[in-house]
């Protein structure tokens, strides 16, 4: 029986909040950004770490007996924290969930800056981080500026080089596409530079205008226009072509990896494996148990004050909890599997739910097969076709 666990740790602090960001984040005056570390920041950091440890103690029982396969420090900008702070969390998580024989993947999201570069050796040696996800977004300064990012392209280059020097051999680079004034030529230059650097993993995300962000409001007011659909679709195609030719495999719709470097933690979400999410706004995938045969989703409060008040008072659950129905679980099993290169294993689905996927979803599957958006990949396995990958949102929405 599957008994592994991934732990997501959300750090909601950033040096500046980007105008398109819809994550649970807040701007802080962190060290190295606007002068030296202030007493306030140190106190904020320490109190937040204590809160994470308290939440871990409160929630560990739900996941007891599981062996740790990954920790993901995301945000926000978790690299604003001191290595010793990250080490405290890692040690507590590993004590609660001792890893199995395989070394757990421990990822840290890093934003390019001088502060982070100086801390890289400490992140590796002291905090035990073995994978970095670097928020490059683009190597074009005009685009970074328009996106409101706090870093320039040279900061990214220096951070990637410093990461290699510090001994990190598992690097992921985030790139944005279909963003503002980005042209196909600008995307091409970003891909060229990323490939030339040779990270083990590349994630490519389309810029999304979420309604509650400044960019979302600008779109609603007509101050921005959405990126032309055709332009973004051809960028998706070009990214796949360029990265696959460079030796990466598109193992999930937005993720490319060299063989053996697929993200262990992120795969858990697509495989619907348990994840304990700690911190402000963190989401969890709780395992099945009494009264929730298909597990549950849990979302922590997005406001730091509400989350801290709960964990410091030792009160649980806080936030929203949603047990999954059989119908929800079947829908998720289909659309999450279709996001991945392996696709949907019909026999595995039937084993879990007692019915073949064609029973609840026959009309949708037949239609997409007929339209060439889905295809059979070996017996009993459905995958998105090339055109299906370009229209993935439309296909996946049909299963929800
Ligand atoms: S750095 Fe990342 S998490 Fe922070 S505000 Fe910008 S997009 Fe959001």
CATH code where residue 74 lies: 3.20.20.70
Arithmetic mean of pLDDT, 132-157:
96
Domain annotation covers residue 280: no
Give Cα separations from 117 to 114, 126, 134, 155, 313 (angstroms).
5, 15, 11, 9, 37
pLDDT recorded at residue 36: 46
Instruction: Report the chain's terminal Cα–Cα distance, integer Å.
Output: 27
Co-location of 22 and 143 in the same domain: yes
- For 2, other C-beta atoms within 10 Å of its C-beta total 9
Write down the pLDDT at residue 315.
85
282-334 pLDDT, tens digit per residue, is 999 999 888 889 999 999 999 999 999 999 999 876 778 889 999 999 999 99
Which protein residue's CA is at the shortest distance from atom 2 of ligand 1? 76
- pLDDT exceeds cutoff 80 at 49: yes
pLDDT score of 31: 65
Q: Are residues 217 and 357 in the same domain?
A: no
Q: Which atom of ligand 1 has the smallest separation from the CA of 16?
A: 5
299 inside domain: no
Tell me the pLDDT tens digit for each residue of 91-110: 999 999 999 899 999 999 99
What length is written for the chain? 400
What's the pLDDT score for residue 39? 64
Shared-domain flag, residues 99 and 224: yes
Q: Are residues 12 and 115 in the same domain?
A: yes
The answer as to whether 83 is a domain residue is yes
Whether residue 35 has pLDDT greater than 60: no
Tell me if 288 is assigned to some domain: no
**Domain assignment present for 227:** yes
Token duo for residue 319: 């936030």
Query: Ligand 1 centroid vs 266 CA: distance in angstroms?
Result: 18
If you write DSSP's letter for every residue of 105-165 in order, what string do you get? EEEEEE--SHHHHHHHHHHHHTT---EEEEEEE-S-HHHHHHTT-S--HHHHHHHHHHHHH
Residue 334 lies in a domain: yes
Q: Which domain holds residue 343?
A: 326-397
- How many domains does the chain fold into? 2
pTM over 0.85: yes
Cα–Cα nearest to 276, from 55, 34, 25, 28: 55
Query: Separation of 37 CA from ligand 1 center, angstroms?
Result: 20
What is the CATH classification number for the domain harbouring 392? 1.10.10.920
Let me know if residue 21 belongs to a domain: yes
Q: Using the 8-state DSSP alphabet, how is residue 97 labeled?
A: S
Give the least confident one: 25-34, 38-47, 213-222, 241-250: 25-34
């Amino acid at each position: 029986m599957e008994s592994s666990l991934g732990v997501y740790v959300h750090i909601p602090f950033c040096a500046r909040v980007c105008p398109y960001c819809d994550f649970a984040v807040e701007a802080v005056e962190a060290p190295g950004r606007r002068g030296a570390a202030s007493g306030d920041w140190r106190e904020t950091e320490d109190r937040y770490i204590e809160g994470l440890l308290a939440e871990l103690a409160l929630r560990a029982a739900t996941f007891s007996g599981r062996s740790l396969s990954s920790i993901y420090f995301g945000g926000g900008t978790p690299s604003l924290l001191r290595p010793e702070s990250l080490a405290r969390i890692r040690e507590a998580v590993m004590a609660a969930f001792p890893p199995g024989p395989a070394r757990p993947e421990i990822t840290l999201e890093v934003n390019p800056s001088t502060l982070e570069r100086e801390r890289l050796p400490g992140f590796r040696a002291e905090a035990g981080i073995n994978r970095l996800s670097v928020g490059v977004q683009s190597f074009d300064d005009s685009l970074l500026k328009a996106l409101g990012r706090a870093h320039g392209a040279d900061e990214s280059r220096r951070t990637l080089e410093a990461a290699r020097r510090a001994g990190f051999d598992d690097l992921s680079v985030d790139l944005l596409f279909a963003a503002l004034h980005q042209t196909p030529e600008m995307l091409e230059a970003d891909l060229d530079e990323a490939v030339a650097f040779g990270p083990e993993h590349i994630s490519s995300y389309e810029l999304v205008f979420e309604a509650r962000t400044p960019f979302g409001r600008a779109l609603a007011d007509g101050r921005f226009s959405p990126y032309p659909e055709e332009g973004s679709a051809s960028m998706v195609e070009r990214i796949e072509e360029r990265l696959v030719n460079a030796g990466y495999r598109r193992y999930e719709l937005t993720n490319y990896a060299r063989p053996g470097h697929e993200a262990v933690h992120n795969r858990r979400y697509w495989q619907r494996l348990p994840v304990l999410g700690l911190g402000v706004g963190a989401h969890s995938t709780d395992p099945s148990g009494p009264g929730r045969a298909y597990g549950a989703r849990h979302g922590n409060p997005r406001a730091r004050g509400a989350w801290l008040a709960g964990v410091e008072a030792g009160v649980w659950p806080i936030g929203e909890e949603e047990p999954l129905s059989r119908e929800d679980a079947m829908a998720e099993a289909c659309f999450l599997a279709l996001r991945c290169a392996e696709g949907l294993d019909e026999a595995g689905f039937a084993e879990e739910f007692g019915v073949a996927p064609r029973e609840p979803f026959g009309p949708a599957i037949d239609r997409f097969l007929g339209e060439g958006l889905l295809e059979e990949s070996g017996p009993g396995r459905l995958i998105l076709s090339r055109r299906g990958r370009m229209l993935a949102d439309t296909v996946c929405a049909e299963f929800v």
